[in-house]
């Protein structure tokens, strides 16, 4: 791992994520932190908590969670993938390497992606909320059908469930 990569990772670790990251409400909107993890393919290996001159330190993945403290020297990280997750408000941006991170974060492109993701869900909700509900009309139709079924002696009453 070269000096630039170490410098980037040290910078990311200045904004660590809390143990539980809120994903809803006002506390979720205030989140702005980074999570760095090492993967071998799609298998998680370690959640990085700190970096020093010789190794990455953090929690090793075992039994469905990051539990055991471990350190991995830089010379053993060659076959591993770095995954960076940026929790920015209610949106999570996942980067699959330092180059992907640099392209999105240093150009501030992630902000545009966040705006688009929020608009994608809020615009249809806005139009849905503007529609008038047809509940009174449907209720009057149902009442008329029930009254007609009750007044007609030949109608099968077994289909009428109240």
Write out the two tokens for 30: 């205030």
Closest CA to 81 of 90, 94, 62: 94
Angle at CA 93, nearest 5°, toward 99 and 90? 160
pLDDT for the residue 114: 86
Given a cut of 70, the residues of the chain with pLDDT beneath it are 133-135, 153-162
Distance linking the first and last C-alpha atoms of the chain = 71
Query: Which pTM does this prediction carry?
Result: 0.71
Cβ atoms < 10 Å from Cβ of 149:
13
pLDDT for the residue 96: 94
pLDDT for the residue 115: 87
* Cα(45)–Cα(47) distance, integer angstroms: 7
pLDDT for the residue 159: 57
Please report how many Cα atoms fall inside a 13 Å half-sphere around the Cα of residue 23, on the Cβ side. 5
In the chain, what's the furthest Cα-to-Cα distance?
90
The domain ranges of the chain are 3-130, 132-162
Q: In what order do the strands lie in the sheet with 32-40?
A: 65-73, 55-62, 43-51, 32-40, 81-88, 91-95
Query: Coil, strand or helix: which one is 5?
Result: helix
* DSSP secondary structure, 94-153, as one string: EESSHHHHHHHHHTTHHHHHHHHHHHHHHHHHHHHHHSPP-HHHHHHHHHHHHHHHHH-T
């Amino acid at each position: 791992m070269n000096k630039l990569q170490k410098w980037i990772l040290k910078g990311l670790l200045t904004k660590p994520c809390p143990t539980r990251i809120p994903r809803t409400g006002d506390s979720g909107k205030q989140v702005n932190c980074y999570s760095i993890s090492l993967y071998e393919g799609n298998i998680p290996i370690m959640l990085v908590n700190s970096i020093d001159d010789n190794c990455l330190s953090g929690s090793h993945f075992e039994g469905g969670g990051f539990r055991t403290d471990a350190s991995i020297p830089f010379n053993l990280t060659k076959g591993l993938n770095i995954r960076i997750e940026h929790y920015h408000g209610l949106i999570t941006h996942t980067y699959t390497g330092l180059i992907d991170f640099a392209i999105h974060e240093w150009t501030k492109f992630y902000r545009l992606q966040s705006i688009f993701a929020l608009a994608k869900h809020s615009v249809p909700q806005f139009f849905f909320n503007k529609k008038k509900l047809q509940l009174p009309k449907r209720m009057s139709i149902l009442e008329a059908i029930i009254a007609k079924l009750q007044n007609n002696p030949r109608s099968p009453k077994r289909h009428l469930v109240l």
